[in-house]
Amino acid sequence: FLAQPWHLWLYQAMALLLVACPCALVISAPVSIVSAIGGAARRGVLIKGGVHLEQAGSLAVIAFDKTGTLTRGRPEVTDIIDWSGNEDRLLAVAAAIESRSEHPLADAVLQSARQRGLPVPAVTDFEALVGQGARGNIDGELYLVGNMRIFAGYDLPPDLEIRLHELQNQGKSIILVGNQKKLLGLLAVADIVRSNSPAALESLRRHGIRKLVMLTGDNPATAGAIARQTGVDEFSADLMPEDKVQAVRELLARHGKVAMVGDGVNDAPAMAIATVGIAMGTAGTDAALETADIALMGDDLSRLAYTIHLGRQTVRVLKQNIAFAVVVKVIIMLMALPGWLTLWLAVLGDMGTSLLVTLNGMRLMWMRDQAPLK
């Protein structure tokens, strides 16, 4: 229309079309996310989506369950206090009920009964009572196994409170055993703190996590003993599953973004409402793994600091790629105004930018397990 040379402006139009193609901008995010998730999977961390990885990188507060998370989840029976006159029967009844339970303490009771060579009787009409324990019929009689909540209203032995206080101060969990009429006895179970839990929590602090909280259904004395060993900033004890949900809600209200790390059915509701739900993969129940956004498949808490750092590095690389792609494209497009843009420069600007953002994103796949500490 303006009588300009056809071949010159067709050439310029083709070059500008090449530069304007948003290949680098579009590919920068998927490549970075896939590389980060792939690298994490190779190191035993399964992440269900890029959004969860990005959110993990923005966390400042993490809440932990106790049993099976900060502790090994493989406790042992250390004390048996019997008021029924038959200690072996007490242990056999507890083992029978716990044989149908998914709680980490159940294995300790079963293992103790097996070590004594006790036959475990059959259980019928089994029922798990969330946050309290379980019950079932053995030889036609109803038995209950759990904490103090399940025995509310029972006539308790006069020395029970003293015994409980002594055992709980030693960091032991208590399993009460009784029937419909009375309390028959109790089992004290000690769970061992994971050897790497204190170091893992300290590493999280050095990676920018401001607050570490423990949420547990255990009594305050036992929770306090574990809190001192692991070094959490604060803890809440005697929590039902709905109490854990409320505790996470309060943390979200105060801090904005909160992760919940757990392994059991009782932790799943709290994990669901947290910004990021993290499950201990090997020790975790199906409910916890289904609910979680991230799973630590080796039950290795040290991977949590790696995951937090990976999330932050991913966000940083995404910003670098987007900024680089946009700036290079704008600069090369501006070169078209004075007529400096050539076709080879347009190809270099388009393909070169795409290759550079791809290579930059792929760095996340080989990021070291132990990130530089802040």
Active site (catalytic) residues? 65
Q: Which amino acid is at 135?
A: R
Q: Of 269, 295, 270, 268, which Cα lies nearest the Cα of 283? A: 295
Taking phi over 0 as left and psi of -120 to 50 as alpha, with beta for the rest, 150 belongs to alpha
Nearest CA-CA partner of 30 in 324, 306, 357: 357
**Packing angle of the helix pair 343-362, 302-334 (nearest 10 deg):** 170
- How far is CA 343 from each of CA 10, 110, 346, rounded to the nearest angstrom? 11, 76, 5
For residue 125, give the H/E element and its range: strand 124-129
Backbone Cα Rg of the chain? 29
Q: Are strands 294-296 and 276-280 parallel, antiparallel or unpaired?
A: parallel
- Burial readout 58-71 (b: 16 or more C-beta within 10 A, e: otherwise): ebebbbbbbbbbbb
For the beta carbon of residue 88, count every other beta carbon within 10 angstroms.
14
The span from the CA of 332 to the CA of 330, in Å, is: 6
Contact 297, 303 (CB under 8 A): no
Q: Of 233, 227, 225, 228, give the one whose Cα is nearest residue 251.
A: 233
Contact criterion met (CB below 8 Å) for 183 and 154 = yes
Q: Report which of 312, 311, 327, 325 is spatially closest to residue 356, judged by C-alpha positions.
A: 325
